[in-house]
Structure formats: C-alpha cells, structure tokens
Amino acid sequence: MHPAKVNRQKVRQLTDLPNIGKAGAADLRLLDIQHPTDLIGLDPYQMYQQLCQLTGQTHDPCVIDVFIAVTRFMAGEPPQPWWFYTQERKQQLTGRPAAV
C-alpha cells in the first residue's frame, strides 16, 4: 500500500502495510511472516539474507529498503516510501558481505 494511504489502526494484513503489495506479501510469507505484528523486532537485513537463501537468488537490494520501511513502521515510526531508506541501506551495506 502507498505510505500516504496507510492507516495504522487499520493494518490487519500484510498488504495493508506501506509499500507492500501482492509480491511483497508473498516474499514476507516465504519468511514465515503471516501478520504485520510478526515484523516487530525483526532485522530487515537478516530478512533479506534469508529471502535470498530461501529462493536461491539475489534479490534487488531495494527489497531491503522495503523491509526497513515495514519493520520501522511496525516499530511505531511514520509510514515512509521505500526509497526513503535507500541511502541508509547503501551506507549500512558498505563493508557487509554480499547476499547468498
């Protein structure tokens, strides 16, 4: 869902989350995340690594941005578009090992 349209009180399913559509929800389900509250306390970088391992492919790094957006939202931060986190992800990954 587009971040500007997210109503925190109405988040009941994965596609109610900011930046999550059908494909994003499918990725989250692969990680055994069935409900938005399952995201609380998760590390978006570990989620990305696990997704790459489960699917046997390296996903676009912007998936990390989406994971940051939804985990931060579920931690109480305001909804943001996924690209809001791109620079942070790039800085964070400097020196980190590549996925898969």
Q: Which domain holds residue 37?
A: 3-93
In a domain, 99, yes or no: no
In a domain, 82, yes or no: yes
**What pLDDT, on a 0 to 100 scale, did the predictor assign at position 98?**
54
Residues 1 and 18: beta-carbon distance below 8 Å:
yes
Quote the number of domains for the chain: 1
**What pLDDT, on a 0 to 100 scale, did the predictor assign at position 89?**
94
In a domain, 100, yes or no: no
The tens-digit pLDDT sequence of the chain (100 residues) is 777 777 788 899 999 999 999 999 999 999 999 999 999 999 999 999 999 999 999 999 999 999 999 999 999 999 999 999 999 999 898 866 555 4
Of 92, 93, 79, 86, give the one whose Cα is nearest residue 36: 79
Residues 70 and 85: beta-carbon distance below 8 Å:
no
**What pLDDT, on a 0 to 100 scale, did the predictor assign at position 96?**
63
- What does R_g of the chain's alpha carbons equal in angstroms? 13
In a domain, 98, yes or no: no
pTM of the model: 0.90
